[in-house]
Structure 1
Amino acid sequence: MEKLEEQIAHLMRTIEEMSDVVARQDTEIALLTRRVQMLMEREAGREAGADGAVVMGDERPPHY
């Protein structure tokens, strides 16, 4: 019986630790999601401000 109680205590501690990890990950994912959304909005604003011209990644700037 004592062995079972030790195992249950160990499992309970492990569950609590995992719960803490999941809670931290949820907070971090929410923060990263907001940051990605902000960056996407910023990039959309830049594209809209470029007079509707789409700039390709391999296109040279006009000063070349």
Structure 2
Amino acid sequence: MNDALADLQERFAHQELAIEALNDVVVRQGRAIDALRAELDEVKRELRALRPSPVGGEAADEPPPPHY
């Protein structure tokens, strides 16, 4: 009985360590995802600044393409 209890306690301790390690990975991945989202938002803003929307009237000032 004591051996079985000791075995269960040992397994429980190992599982606690594994859960803590997995939690650390999840936290790091969450931080990385947040950083990537912020970087993506910045790239989107830069792209919009370089390529204004054609709705603003600039596209209407251009002649139609040659196939029309």
The alignment's TM-score, normalised by the length of structure 2, stands at 0.70
- Superposition CA RMSD, Å: 1.8
Structure 1 pair 52–7 and aligned structure 2 pair: CA distance change class (3 A): farther
Structure number, greater radius of gyration: 2
Counterpart residue number, 1:45: 49
Gaps of 5+ in 1: 54-64
Counterpart residue number, 1:31: 35
Task: Give a deviation string over 1:9-40, Cα, whole Å, max 9, x none.
Answer: 00000000000000000000000000001001
**Which of 1 and 2 has higher RCO (CA within 8 Å, sep 6+)?**
1
Gaps of 5+ in 2: 60-68
Provide runs of 4+ in structure 1 moved above 4 Å. none
Aligned length: 52
Among the aligned pairs, what percent are the same residue? 27
The alignment's TM-score, normalised by the length of structure 1, stands at 0.74
Counterpart residue number, 2:64: none
